[in-house]
Amino acid sequence: MEGLIGSFQYSRMAPVAAIVFCVVLLITCLLGAWAMRSVAGALWPALGWFVTSFVLSMPAASGSVIITSTTAGKWYLYGGTVCALTGVGLSFVVLARGARTRPR
């Protein structure tokens, strides 16, 4: 849902909305990992965002594009990619560290 909503609303306030959507994606990934106590909790929102956003950024046969090559579009796609990968990576590091410190 984040990818679908963000793909249509990223250009509302120039690049500000795109940056806000990226930060929300990062928070979603981290909260998903925390709630599930698994990296999969961060991976599934990130994968859903990747698939939705990148499919919607490809041009259609008619030539229309939903995510355009503007400053806001670039911030949304590249920033979202960085935030999704950061969320998955941070959840992996935090959960791996937590597994080491737990008594058996």
- pLDDT at position 32: 93
- Cβ-contact 81, 28 below 8 angstroms: no
**pLDDT given for residue 85 in this prediction:** 94
Token pair of 86 as six digits: 């950061």
Where in the sequence is the domain holding 28, given as residue range(s)? Answer: 2-101
Other CB atoms closer than 10 Å to residue 95's CB: what's the count? 18
How many domains is the chain built from? Answer: 1
% the chain with pLDDT above 90: 36
Check pLDDT > 60 for residue 102: no
pLDDT of residue 23: 93
Q: What is the mean pLDDT of residues 55-80?
A: 84
The answer to whether residues 45 and 39 touch, using CB atoms and an 8 Å cutoff, is no
The pLDDT tens digits of the residues spanning 10-49 come to: 778 878 888 888 999 999 999 999 999 989 999 999 999 9
